[in-house]
Amino acid sequence: MNAPLVTCRSIAPDGSLLTVTATVRPRGGRAEVKCSVPDAPEVAQRMQQVVRLARHTEPRFDSRDQVVLSLDRAPLSSSRDWELAAVLADRIVRSLWAPQRPVVANGWSDAWHLGRIDGHCLRQVPVGVLAGGEGLPHLGALSGHPDPAAGVSTARAWFPLYSGGAGDALCWVEASVRPAAHQEDEESSIAAPGVDAALQARVRAVLAGARHHDGRGTGQWRTTVRFGEERFQGGSFELALVMADRMARGRDFLARGRVLATGQSSSWHAGRVETVDGVAPKCALMLREAAPGDRILVPRAWEPDLPPGWREALRERGASLACVERIGII
């Protein structure tokens, strides 16, 4: 039996039509979404990211199939209006939406994981064209459903990015969760679009382990993880990721300000928080960035090596500190 082939079109800035083609096949251990664009690998990467993010608010989860998406030619580098066509092609080929006529769609978003469609770049919308923004503000509107963002809980935590240079700064990690009971492996329900395969695998393993420690945190959520900076090394982000996920799921108290955290673990399933390198420079960075109401979490193993007066300096800035050896209600 031949796999179904779906096409959606989008109007390019010059008035011509771009064509998105989608097919579906058994996943067989491959990535759940594969994208290709002639001579434009960066556009293909963006397409894959968009589609993965847009799946976050879907009512059901099925990781058995792979969707293959392609554009017939590369769009202008500044154009993003094809994004809505790619999202719709992905939904149609998986039988999640059944349009009554051929689809021409223009729209883009900076928050696909919330199902939001921010706008389009058409000067005038032709009759029959789906245009994001005021006319189609979110993906739920395609089927007359409420705004899917209402069912998504999102939280952020920050961690220090230290390399010894002028670029040292705090980086945020964001966890967005949506209730969606599933029988799949926990890691397959967690997506981190935009990061490389190694970091995505680490994100999935960390959250799956930390939720196992909850006792009732697995098999209940669809999760999208985003980073403020997508290219970095090391595992000091892990505690911040776990805290963002716990706050999004209502498993931890919220600070008055931000949560700043650094720490990793080889046994998140046991809830343990282990040390990371760079005590002195990371403490200096967090002290410099601390603001009133911030809650700073560092590994308990750091406590003997904290810089003299650092705890008091944080208190003077209105921030609080906890040296933790296990996750829980912090």
Secondary structure of residue 85 in the 3-state scheme: helix
Q: What is the mean pLDDT of residues 219-230?
A: 88
Instruction: Identify the residue whose tokens are 């389009």.
Output: 120
Residue of higher predicted confidence among 59 and 143: 143
Instruction: Give the rounded percent of residues in the chain with a pLDDT score beyond 90.
Output: 66
Higher pLDDT: 140 or 219? It is: 140
Report the pLDDT averaged over residues 15-39: 91
Domains 5-150 and 152-324 share a fold: yes
pLDDT at 131: 95
Fold of 5-150: Ribosomal Protein S5; domain 2 (3.30.230)
Closest by Cα among 174, 3, 143 to 59 = 143
Task: Convert the pLDDT of each residue in 47-56 to its tens digit.
Answer: 999 999 998 8
- Express each pLDDT in 243-280 by its tens digit: 999 999 988 888 899 999 999 999 999 999 999 998 99
Residues 51, 41: Cα–Cα separation, whole Å? 15
Nearest to 241 by CA among 282, 219, 209, 289: 209
CA 206 from centroid of its chain's CA atoms: 15
Would you kindly state where each structural domain of the chain is located, as residue ranges? 5-150, 152-324
Question: Which residue matches tokens 């390198």?
Answer: 277
Closest CA to 129 of 99, 94, 155: 99
Q: Distances from the Cα of 58 to the Cαs of 41, 169, 183, 277, 321, in angstroms?
A: 27, 35, 16, 40, 39
Whether residue 198 contacts residue 223, with contact meaning beta carbons closer than 8 Å, is answered with no
- Residue 330 reports pLDDT greater than 60: no
The mean of the pLDDT values for the chain is 90
pTM over 0.95: no
Range from 139-148, 160-169, 302-311 carrying the lowest mean pLDDT: 160-169
Q: So what's the architecture of 152-324 in CATH?
A: 2-Layer Sandwich (3.30)
Give dist(CA 326, CA 330) in Å, integer.
9
178: pLDDT strictly greater than 50: yes
Predicted pLDDT of residue 1 = 46
Res 163: pLDDT: 75
Q: What is the structure's pLDDT at 260?
A: 97
Mean pLDDT value of segment 124-134: 92
**pLDDT value at position 2?**
60
| pLDDT confidence bin for 195, thresholds 50/70/90 | confident
How many angstroms separate the CA atoms of 282 and 191, rounded? Answer: 28
Q: What is the pLDDT of residue 254?
A: 87
Provide the token pair at 313.
């300096």
Cα–Cα distances in angstroms (integers) from residue 277 to residues 65, 141, 160, 171, 237, in the given order: 41, 48, 11, 17, 12
The band of 65, judged by pLDDT with boundaries at 50, 70 and 90, is confident
Q: Which of 118, 121, 120, 90 is nearest to 103 (CA)?
A: 90
The Cα–Cα gap between 94 and 66 comes to 10
Q: Is the pLDDT of residue 167 over 80?
A: no
Query: Does 60 score more than 80 pLDDT?
Result: no
Task: Report helix, strand or coil for 134.
Answer: coil
